Chain A
Amino acid sequence: MTCQTHRLNGTGRCLNRSKPISFTFDGKRYSGFEGDTLASALLANGVRLVARSFKYHRPRGIFTCDPHEPSALVQLRSGARQEPNVPATMVELYDGLEATSQNRWPSLRYDLLSVNQLISPFFAAGFYYKTFKWPAKFWTSLYEPVIRRAAGMGRLSGSIDPDTYEKVHHHCDILVIGGGAAGLSAARAATQDGARVTLVEERARLGGFDSTGLEQDIAALKALENVRILPRTMAFGWYDNNTFGAVEQVSDHLPVPAPHQPRQRMWKIVAPQVILATGAHERSLSFGNNDRPGVMLASAAERYLRDYGVRPGSRAVIFTTNDSTAGLAEALRAAGVTVAAVADARNGDEIETVHGRTAVTGVTLRQKDGSRRTVDCDAVCVSGGWNPAVQLLAQRGQKPRWSDNLQAFLPQEMAGADFLFTGSLAGLEAREDCQTHGRMAGEAAGKRFAARDSASLADYHSYLEANEARAAKFAYFESSTGKSKKFIDLQHDVTAGDVSLATREGYRSVEHVKRYTTLGMATDQGKTSNIHGIAAMSKALDKPMSQVGTTGFRPPYRPVSLGALAGRSRGKHWRPILRTPLHGWVEDKGGVFIESGLWHRSQYFPKPGETMSQAISREVQAVRSAVGFCDVSTLGKIDLQGPDAAAFLDRVYSNGFAKLPVGKSRYGLMLREDGIVMDDGTVSRLAEDHYFITTTSAESDSVISHLEYCHQVLWPELDVVFADAGEDWAGIALAGPRARDVLVRIAPEMDVSNAALPFLAAREGTVLDGVPARLFRVSFSGELAFELYVPSAYGRPLAEALEREGAEFGITPYGVEALDVLRIEKGHVSSELNKFTTAADLGLGMMMSKKKDFIGRALSSRPGLTDPDREVVVGLKPLDPSHSFRQGAHITARGAPLAPENDDGYITSAAWSPTLESHIAIALVRRGRERVGEVVEIIDPLHGEEPVPATIVYHHFYDPENARVRS
């Protein structure tokens, strides 16, 4: 274990020195204290080199003390919890923490890929666009893999993340984003009129840059009942109507989450008012080799000294343009650091270049008179002024305004403003200013909560105007001389030279230069670099900063893990699983489930040793020769009542319903207004003004929505009400020549004889000694069949009773596969309702009533839908019954060349028919009905199969006379 060579005695506001902590970096063991970040602990141990840069593999150190650290990205943890690209500045140290450096090979110190810098002229702006243009196929096979390996970031573990994530919804009256001096004052003032205030702060501690002296304010705020404080919570997105996304790092600071504790929690926050106190980001300056480990933002050096008791080196040079570094020299000296030089750009002094490779060893200073001198040092503290953190506002589409006085882009008021901003985001610097103005913002928000329009914002505005009028910041971004690389985007290795090259090549828009050079496109999203790119463009194009403008910003403000966005919706919970009332019974019977939409439906019921196709054939044969039953609870069910119910049905179905007698069911066809078939199902009239409708499983929700539209929007005058009864009823289809024998035993109270209950009869009654039931004599299988509906809680008892009472008739449960084979044999359409077909295409043209208007009638007669060349439903039988088809295979005339214009249609359903002992298919074929008897070829080039010759037949393969359903 190495000793903490750079740790100071005594200082360090954040540290708990009584709790030493041991951690490793690149396998080497170090020590720190509770309260350290990984960055502060590495600096305390004298570790300078912590990363290699993205493109050139240049050595990099710790540059900031901030969440948007551009250089010191590390890989955290190991195994399945391994997490790449974490800023070391944001990692709270815990005992046993493992971190490794990224993007280097074989080691951080001897990174062979750093040869990239020797050929850096080739990596200039637009390098990829210019170099890897041809041949095109080389891109995926060669260029990209090589570039990906050389450039880059950390690696994912490749294992499933063992931790959990969750979401939470939160509502407050006033949201304050940022827990610095301004945010604290704003939050406290905002509560005065009783508003519920929530304060989010991305760091673990409140207080902003310097919490010294704010302890009482923080304690007072925490004590307020109507304040919710969310530390370690980063507001990453601001969406329409003041909806915010924020991520709370619940247990990232722990080795592993506590039992049942999520790793992160995503907050969806809705707040009518928001006060932005997001602060400002200190900016660097452009000078030669300004990326060397040891070059650090001045504010970061100050905070490492004060908060973590860490000195950045022993001899420091300060390079500044502004007053915010005023106290730094004294603080460094107090910590025993020699201040070797202060280069103040306002005096004409600047750093031309930095010396040293893996650490700073000195700088060349260029003084006002042009003379140069070299100064030995091991730390460079740089401050180029401050950029207000306008990113969240820019997400709302706001273009920040350039202030010459403040030399910064500032937030603007927006029409219909639903936000206030304060603190250094508003260009304020002194803590007292931030607190005073924060209080003004908080009070105004509190008053607006109590009574909209009651608050005057005059003081709030004039305070900011006076501050801006007073300011006279020095305009300086880049040292004037020197040949070494001057980095403006440390994370993406973009130099001032790249930006000027882009402008020479004709790029004028800041958005284009961004994309051409990749400036600001790294994970820090330009927080440390954008302003210098804009300054470089301003210089190269000779345009003022205000005219160059900034790029837009989109969520997230900082990277957000995909786990947090997914929350609980991962694995099998990525969407709900819908279960029918018979689910448990199917499970107990050993039934196999298949996902069908959101439903888990019974696919088939294999017996021991049976293959899937054997089981399906057995189930089909049982229905054809004896009796079977199938769970059809997934069908949509609608309970329709009211005096105008018949009139309503006449308008939404293409066929007529006014004359449907009470006690009868009818097949119904529903069109879309454009004439295409939407859905089919049965409509049963239970009483004069009471109907029970079934829809297909897939369309049940959209049919309800459509009917509601028709009722609420198109024909509100019709007196009808309908309820989605899908959940109320368990449905079972009972089919086969012995179906009635079973039904007699199930429903002894009902007369189910052919005379009393003929084909298409509909009855309400009871089954199983008193269970209310609806019984419809409809058939999808082509056999004598009934659909039985009982309240869902009786679904399983009904299935069990059918099994018991039907045993002597050979009753067999069947799944959706057999159901499909049965309907294909019978020639009922199902997957043929594919949103392209008309009633006529489906062979259902006779269901288009000519006596009434209905949805879809008018446009059904347009030429495109009545073209005799359209593809229509037919059956297909292979010449060799053992030749199988696939759904989606295409049809061509025999001998026609394989060309798109010879495509005569496609197969919509295909199955092995145990009844016909042949493969069969239903297909949509051009002029199909005229071509019955023709031998065509079934082609399936996607599966590389040989063409199969097949005969076009009528699609009612089985019992076309419909004798069996009436038996």
Chain B
Amino acid sequence: MCAAEARPLFCLEDLELTGIPAAGPAGVEVRIVTGTTMLRIMPFRDQAAAAGAALAPFGFTALPAPGRFAEARENRLAWAAGNCWHLISPRTAPALEQELKQSLAGLAAVSSAGSGLLRLQISGTAACALMAKGCVLDLNRFAPGHCAISLMAHTRIQLHRCADTEFGLLIPASHAASFWEWLTMSAAEFGLAVQTTAAAVLEDGDPLPAALSA
């Protein structure tokens, strides 16, 4: 038996991923990011500080406060729910998961979340205008380095403010097709460009803003 190939875009199967042309440059660019490993970190009782400290091998010294994410090397560490953080990395899943489990043994539960989330990066001059159509947050007060879990287009998503005009979205796979259709309808008036990139390429791209370094 030969090894099975994962289908990273299974949740968008049979959808048009081509974008919508505009008169000028597209106001909204969506990058569909594949190849990301996402691991859940849920500290046990009274162990949040110790768990944060144990993340040194991954470049972090503490778990970010609620509503914040931090970046170090190629990794991102983001608050993801009441007592849950996500380690987001371009590295491959099984090895990273084993390493993290070892670092956090007895301090936090670790589980893999990557396969169930679609990761999008939304940017462009109209990115904020598009986001406002679905996102209930005050985007002016949602600064780079902030993250949120919130309702958007019927869906509970995780939202990272990466830069003034760039947002990272993590969307539950089961909702992804519906969300995608909402996204393309809502972005149509601005023009929409779509590309698919592997996480490794993305993370090696732009230099990290100093404010986000852990």
Contact = CB atoms under 8 A, between A and B. Distances in A.
Q: Do A and B come from one complex?
A: yes
B174 A580 contact: yes
B165 interface: no
A616 B112 CA distance: 36
Interface string B153-183: 1110000000000000000111111110110
Contacts of A568: 153, 182, 185-186
Interface residues on B, range: 35 or more
Nearest to B14: A584
B98 to A, nearest CB: 11
Contacts of B174: 578-580, 599, 726-727
Given A260-B20, A568-B186, A642-B109, A584 B3 contact: no
A164 B185 contact: yes
B42 A721 contact: yes
B121 interface: no
B112 A728 contact: yes
Nearest to B38: A728
Given A171-B140, A568-B186, A580-B174, A723 B40 contact: yes
Interface string A351-370: 00000000000000000000
Interface stretch (B66-74, B130-138, B206-214): B130-138
Contacts of A746: 1
A20 interface: no
B111 interface: yes
A792 B175 CA distance: 13
Given A639-B111, A727-B116, A575 B6 contact: no
B4 A794 contact: yes
Contact of A727 (B20, B117, B179): B117
Contacts of B6: 791, 793-794, 797
Given A261-B189, A577-B178, A791-B112, 15 more contacts: A169-B133, A196-B140, A262-B189, A577-B177, A578-B174, A579-B174, A721-B83, A728-B115, A748-B1, A769-B1, A769-B4, A770-B4, A792-B173, A796-B7, A801-B4
B130 to A, nearest CB: 10
A796 B132 CA distance: 35
A599 B175 CA distance: 10
A796 B6 CA distance: 9
Nearest to A584: B13
Nearest to A725: B111
A331 interface: no
Contact of A723 (B2, B5, B109): B109
24 contacts: A166-B133, A169-B132, A169-B136, A259-B188, A268-B136, A568-B153, A573-B181, A576-B175, A576-B178, A581-B173, A583-B177, A643-B44, A722-B42, A725-B116, A726-B116, A727-B113, A727-B116, A727-B172, A728-B113, A772-B94, A793-B7, A793-B8, A796-B10, A797-B7
Contacts of B62: none
Contacts of B3: 768-771
Contacts of B112: 728, 772, 791
Contacts of B111: 639, 641, 723, 725, 728
A771 B172 CA distance: 21
Q: Is the interface of B mostly helix, strand, loop or mixed?
A: mixed
A690 B110 CA distance: 10
B5 A797 contact: yes
A822 interface: no
A772 B94 CA distance: 9
Interface string B65-99: 00000000000000000111000000000100000
A587 interface: yes
A579 B177 contact: yes
A791 B115 contact: yes
A442 interface: no
Interface in A447-488: none
A728 B110 CA distance: 13
Contact of B10 (A167, A581, A712): A581
A797 B115 CA distance: 14
Nearest to B13: A584
The 6 closest A-B pairs by CB, nearest first: A727-B116, A584-B13, A791-B115, A641-B109, A171-B138, A260-B188
Given A166-B133, A587-B14, A723-B109, A798 B186 contact: no
B43 interface: yes
Interface in B5-56: 5-8, 10-11, 13-14, 20, 40, 42-45
B4 A727 contact: no
A133 B82 CA distance: 59
B87 to A, nearest CB: 14
B7 A579 contact: no
Given A169-B132, A769-B1, A583 B13 contact: yes
A719 B182 contact: no
Contact of A641 (B4, B42, B137, B176): B42
Nearest to A250: B189
A532 B145 CA distance: 58
A772 B95 CA distance: 12
Nearest to A769: B3
Interface in B139-153: 139-141, 153
A656 interface: no
A578 B94 CA distance: 28
Interface string A571-598: 0010111111101100100000000000
Contacts of A798: 4
A396 interface: no
Given A576-B155, A721-B44, A792 B133 contact: no
Contacts of B133: 166-169
A11 to B, nearest CB: 38
A795 interface: yes
B199 to A, nearest CB: 13
Contacts of B135: 169
A639 B133 CA distance: 34
Interface string A716-759: 00010111011111000000000000000110100000000000
Nearest to A578: B174
Contacts of A712: 82
A74 B134 CA distance: 34
A569 interface: yes
Nearest to A599: B174
Nearest to A582: B10
Given A568-B186, A727-B172, A768-B3, A171 B109 contact: no
A701 to B, nearest CB: 10
Contact of A639 (B109, B137, B153): B109
Interface string A166-194: 11111100000000000000000000000
A585 to B, nearest CB: 8
Contact of A768 (B1, B178, B182): B1
Nearest to A795: B10
A270 interface: yes
A590 B10 CA distance: 17
A643 B106 CA distance: 9
A575 B84 CA distance: 28
B125 to A, nearest CB: 16
Contacts of B42: 641, 721-723
A578 B114 CA distance: 18
B136 A797 contact: no
Given A573-B181, A580-B174, A748-B1, A260 B140 contact: no
Given A772-B94, A793-B6, A581 B11 contact: yes
Interface in A252-291: 259-262, 268, 270
Contacts of B140: 171, 196
